[in-house]
Amino acid sequence: MPRYRSPVFPFVRPPELDGRAGRRWPVAIVGAGPVGLAAAIDLALAGIASVVIDESNVVSTGSRAICWSKRTLEIFDRLGVGDRMVAKGVTWKVGRLFHRDREVYAFDLLPEPGHKRPAFINLQQYYVEEYLIDRARDFPDLIELRFMSRVTGAGQDPDRAWVDVETPEGKYRLAADYVIACDGVRSTVRRSLGLDFIGRAFEERFLITDVEMAAEFPSERWFWFEPPFHDGQSALLHKQPDNIYRIDLQLGPGADPEEERRPERVIPRIRAMVGERPFEIDWISVYSFQCRRLARFVHDRVIFAGDSAHIVSPFGARGGNGGIHDVDNLCWKLAAVLKGEGPSALLETYNTERVHGADENILNSARATSFMTPKSRMERLFRDEVLALASTHPFARQLVNSGRLSRPCSLAGFSLGTAETSDLSGTMVPGAPCLDAPVRGANGEDGWLLDHLGGSFIALGFGALASTPPGVRGLTVGGSGDLQDPQGLLAARYDGAPGVVYLIRPDQHIAARFREPTAAEISRALARAQGSSNA
């Protein structure tokens, strides 16, 4: 009996079913999962209306994506839902790795002080969806959520894209300037366009369960290679809110998913792992390992984001996080195109930048999968001996791969960034996602840099800021400026001597940086970051 009770969202009869045309939507979003909902909110923050279409009338069943990274929490902050997620979630930073019956080593993500958000929280996907739906309700004029509405097909012509929708009260076709397909790994939109994934599917399957138990396991990620309680395979234990533990157990390549998910098969495995303490199974699923993506994420007026565009093996927290990072990258560009502030070529940069992000996620998760599931005797020998060396030789610990945890993806070298000509040091190069730092506002209130960035282009100036082009919000640090740097961390992280200026994208990525730039230099960098081909 699942502990979580989803709110039930009613079906509302849309005007299209009564022969009325309904409005022409700028954007139709297929799928009300975390990715689709985040997209609707991000577009609404930019003033763009969207309709979100989902076949269900409840949020996700089972925990599914549970592990949300610091960068994702920063995006959730920008969307106005970060505090609620972090308040409910389990914050963790320690991981322990076991081989057979011994602990090989523990790692501490050792978060550097001076950041608002922790490295990770664990929070069941159903809570993430519930909170995003609540947030979407803050924009009644800009977001319409249509539940119990199944998309059965999609298409486009040069002027519009459309989806065919089936509801309990009939069918209709809905047109929009753009369709964002956030309808998951079995995307109907993808199939309707005749598109296939490229990449690699592994034979391995994992049994994935939510178990409710009153236990004193700490808020840590525990991973076993060949645990004594699960013959020759691997296992993961992760704590979630509400006394729910996530347990993932690797199944052999020949396992029958239907057989393996039967409670009489699952319960003894959990019992072997958690001992005699009482537990209840909350949810059971079986998934296969895949590392695949679409060749392109942008198909004219139909754009793919999240699992509909790319799918990775778990254990790196790269699925749900990758989808939110897609949204972060896409929505300001789509809003600019729809408002006539940017060329449609700007959308092509979503394709190149997020294909790059997906490839990084796929590479990391494919390598973790290979380490967890050796394919030959020699691969297994190497894996086992890395583990053997790791307990006494620290170098080998860094070769142990139980999932390389999601890190923000750098866009350095891509076309929207202005090549660096200054002698500025540090990691905040064009293309990098902005690092957070503590700041003090004009009224003396303590806060965080990232809460002041995003939503529009920003010129962040240390000391005075001469002039900013139209469409760029100026933000000055120090002196009588907008922000003070009480701990000096902002200047340290941004090499922020007086006269240094950063141009920052609406998605909190650095577009350019300069020492004492002219207004023309900033304008040129802005035009380039907005997709102008002659900048």
Partner 1 sequence: MTDPTLTTTWNLGTDGDDLYARLMAAHEGLSDDESARLNVRLVLLLVNHIGDRVVLEEAIAAARRCGPEPTNAT
The residues of the shown chain that bind partner 1, judged by CB under 8 A, are 378, 381-382, 384-386, 388-389, 393, 395-396, 399
Q: How far is the CB of 288 from partner 1 (least distance, A)?
A: 21
Q: How far is the CB of 396 from partner 1 (least distance, A)?
A: 6
Which of 90, 74, 7, 11 has the alpha carbon at shortest distance from 38? 74
Q: Dihedral sign, CA of 100, 105, 106, 111?
A: negative
Q: Which is nearer to partner 1, 388 or 519 (CB)?
A: 388
Q: How far is the CB of 393 from partner 1 (least distance, A)?
A: 7
Q: How far is the CB of 399 from partner 1 (least distance, A)?
A: 7
The radius of gyration of the chain from alpha carbons, rounded to an integer in Å, stands at 24
Q: Which is nearer to partner 1, 12 or 381 (CB)?
A: 381
Tokens of 52: 């979100």
Q: How far is the CB of 401 from partner 1 (least distance, A)?
A: 14
Q: Where are the alpha helices (DSSP H) in 292-409?
A: 319-338, 345-372, 377-390, 394-397
Q: Which is nearer to partner 1, 186 or 377 (CB)?
A: 377
Q: Which is nearer to partner 1, 392 or 533 (CB)?
A: 392
Q: Are 510 and 503 a contacting pair, CB within 8 Å?
A: yes
Q: How far is the CB of 397 from partner 1 (least distance, A)?
A: 11
The residue behind tokens 């157990």 is 249
Q: How far apart are CA 28 and CA 177, in angstroms?
A: 8
Q: Which is nearer to partner 1, 356 or 397 (CB)?
A: 397
Q: Which is nearer to partner 1, 256 or 379 (CB)?
A: 379
Q: Which is nearer to partner 1, 343 or 374 (CB)?
A: 374
Grouping H, G, I as helix, E, B as strand and the rest as coil, residue 326 is: helix
* DSSP-derived pairing of the beta strands 220-225 and 94-99: parallel
For residue 84, the one-letter residue type is: R
Q: How far is the CB of 198 from partner 1 (least distance, A)?
A: 24
Q: How far apart are CA 477 and CA 3, in angstroms?
A: 48
Q: How far is the CB of 374 from partner 1 (least distance, A)?
A: 12
Q: Which is nearer to partner 1, 376 or 425 (CB)?
A: 376
Q: Which is nearer to partner 1, 360 or 384 (CB)?
A: 384
Tell me the CB-side half-sphere exposure of residue 422, using CA atoms within 13 A. Answer: 22
Q: Which is nearer to partner 1, 169 or 379 (CB)?
A: 379
Q: How far is the CB of 385 from partner 1 (least distance, A)?
A: 4
Q: Which is nearer to partner 1, 392 or 534 (CB)?
A: 392
* 164 to 18, 26, 174, 226, 298: CA distances (angstroms): 15, 16, 6, 48, 20
* 515 to 283, 350, 402, 436, 503: CA distances (angstroms): 55, 29, 43, 21, 12
Q: How far is the CB of 363 from partner 1 (least distance, A)?
A: 17
Q: How far is the CB of 391 from partner 1 (least distance, A)?
A: 12
Q: Which is nearer to partner 1, 203 or 259 (CB)?
A: 203
Grouping H, G, I as helix, E, B as strand and the rest as coil, residue 126 is: helix
Q: Are 255 and 205 a contacting pair, CB within 8 Å?
A: yes
The C-alpha angle with vertex 29 and arms to 285 and 198, in degrees rounded to 5, equals 60
Q: How far is the CB of 369 from partner 1 (least distance, A)?
A: 19
Q: How far apart are CA 265 and CA 245, in angstroms?
A: 18
Grouping H, G, I as helix, E, B as strand and the rest as coil, residue 485 is: coil
Q: How far is the CB of 26 from partner 1 (least distance, A)?
A: 49
Q: Are 1 and 51 a contacting pair, CB within 8 Å?
A: no
Sheet holding 310-311, edge to edge: 102-108, 94-99, 220-225, 234-240, 244-251, 197-212, 280-294, 310-311
Q: Which is nearer to partner 1, 102 or 395 (CB)?
A: 395
* DSSP-derived pairing of the beta strands 457-462 and 472-477: parallel
Which of 455, 468, 488, 426 has the alpha carbon at shortest distance from 75? 455
Q: Are 384 and 473 a contacting pair, CB within 8 Å?
A: no
Greatest Cα-to-Cα distance within the chain, rounded to the nearest angstrom: 73
Q: How far is the CB of 202 from partner 1 (least distance, A)?
A: 16
Q: Which is nearer to partner 1, 137 or 200 (CB)?
A: 200
Percentages (nearest 5) of helix, strand, coil residues in the chain: 30, 30, 40
Which of 98, 29, 134 has the alpha carbon at shortest distance from 390? 98
